[in-house]
Amino acid sequence: MKNLKNILFIVIDCLRADYIYEANKSHIPNINEIKKNGFSFLNTIATTSTTTPSFSSLLTGLYPFESGVRSHSGYALNKNVITYPEILKKNGYHTYAEVTGPVRQEIGLDKGFDEFNYRNRDKTIHTEWGKFLIKKFESDYKKPWFVLLHIWALHEPRIVLNQLNYEKYGKTKYARAISSIDKYLGELFNVLRDDTIILLTGDHGEQISRSRIERKAKNIIEKCVKSLKKYNIFKIPYSKIIRPIHVGHGYSIYDVLVKVPLIFYNKEIIPNNKSNVQIRHIDIFPTILDLVNIKTDNEVTGKTVMPIIEGKEFSHRDAYLEAVGINIPKKEDWLVGLRVANKYKYIMSPFKKNFKEELYLLEKDPFEKRNVAPNYPQLIEKFKKKIEKLKFKEFVGERLKKEEQDKIIDRLRALGYVD
């Protein structure tokens, strides 16, 4: 059997790209170390702005409408979809998942894992569980291993270590929570073998508040908006109404919610460099297989980014996006879109009549404040046709049984996603 390297795939819930790539937003010496000595993609786009479908894309190389997982509940992974942990396992890897939140076995995301260890959210990296996890890396995981580590400490309610709860570690609680995660990652990295392949990304981004008072005020306003929504009194899309007041994610597909960091690290096989080329979450696992020289006949939408890492390719990859499910349960409020070449963001509502399409020129308007759709009808038509070719309206997931759905809803209620 070939000499396979251990692989650690870290997914930090709610991690935005700017807090990793822009200097001095957080105190992250350990992440900066793998960033300096690894390869960073500065424009990595998640497929969606919620956790469960994002993980389905990470583990399959498919968009949510292809894998069947488009929300936290309702449908599970299509039984014919092959996951990348399955491929790794078939090729000699021992596969482990350390997950929490809405990443549930009932959705089918355990497929291909020897151990799928789900933990309650009170077991964070900053508790005894975090120490227990480090011991597992030291002696429990059978080599060669692939470990998916889902870190929840940045998700609300964010966790900040007391010794880092000062402004020099970040001006917001969000920033200081990242600093706290970095401290733990330093301890974890210290026990890993030098030849371990490390990947770090976020499942989606996050709209944050600057203070506790601001957050409380926005929450009150949002509750009022939600209560009024049922009367159909609003003339503009719900996503546009709550954009200035929502703290969190899932309500739309603006860059703050879908642009995430991505770092590949291994001193032996990955050069230290960075790229501005736009890539997608669905490209990550094909790249992992490329890194460990595993061939597969499994056809997916994602493509390896090794040619970009090696300096042989510089082409941007169109990124399909969707916001579906828990925060916008009605189909008429669903949003889909396309991010093109770091230049354009197109957003449409496939099931809502008279929706005012959105187009943003990202180079001039990176915060997506000026909708210029009326000025570019040809571009709108071009992007709309690209999306329609994807057959995104199809539902290919396995409908959950009542007991499975009830179990997930109970979990989502405990997480604060549903009332």
Cβ contact 330:367 at 8 Å: no
pLDDT of residue 406: 79
R_g of the chain computed on alpha carbons: 21
Backbone angles phi, psi at 309, to 5 degrees: -60, -40
Q: Which H helix or E strand runs over 12? A: strand 7-12
Asked whether residue 366 is domain-assigned, the answer is no
Q: Please, what are the averages of pLDDT over each run of 10 residues along the chain (419 residues)?
A: 88 97 96 98 96 96 93 85 96 97 92 96 95 96 97 95 96 96 98 95 88 56 59 60 61 94 97 98 97 93 97 96 76 90 96 90 96 97 95 81 81 70
81 half-sphere exposure, CB direction, 13 A CA radius = 30
Asked whether residue 381 is domain-assigned, the answer is no
Distances (CA, A) of 297 to 123, 204, 300: 38, 29, 9
pLDDT of residue 103: 92
pLDDT of residue 62: 96
Asked whether residue 218 is domain-assigned, the answer is no
Domain ranges, residue 199: 7-208+253-317
Asked whether residue 333 is domain-assigned, the answer is no
Number of domains in the chain: 1
Asked whether residue 303 is domain-assigned, the answer is yes
Asked whether residue 410 is domain-assigned, the answer is no
* CA separation for the pair 129, 105 (Å, rounded): 20
Helices 51-60 and 284-291: crossing angle in degrees, nearest 10, is: 40
* CA separation for the pair 67, 125 (Å, rounded): 30
Nearest Cα to 96, choosing from 111, 117, 81, 77? Answer: 117
Tokens representing 25 are 């937003």
Asked whether residue 325 is domain-assigned, the answer is no
Cβ neighbors of 75 (< 8 A, separation 6 or more) are: 68, 69, 395, 397, 398, 399, 400
Whether the model pTM is above 0.85: yes
Per 3-state DSSP, the chain is made up of helix, strand and coil in percentages (nearest 5) of 35, 20, 45
- CATH code of the domain in which 201 resides: 3.40.720.10
Asked whether residue 222 is domain-assigned, the answer is no
Residue 39's DSSP bridge partners are 264, 273
DSSP E strand stretches across 219-363: 259-265, 273-280, 319-323, 335-340, 344-348, 358-361
* CA separation for the pair 395, 76 (Å, rounded): 11
SS3 of residue 327 by DSSP: coil
The whole-angstrom distance between residue 43's C-alpha and the CA centroid of its chain comes to: 13
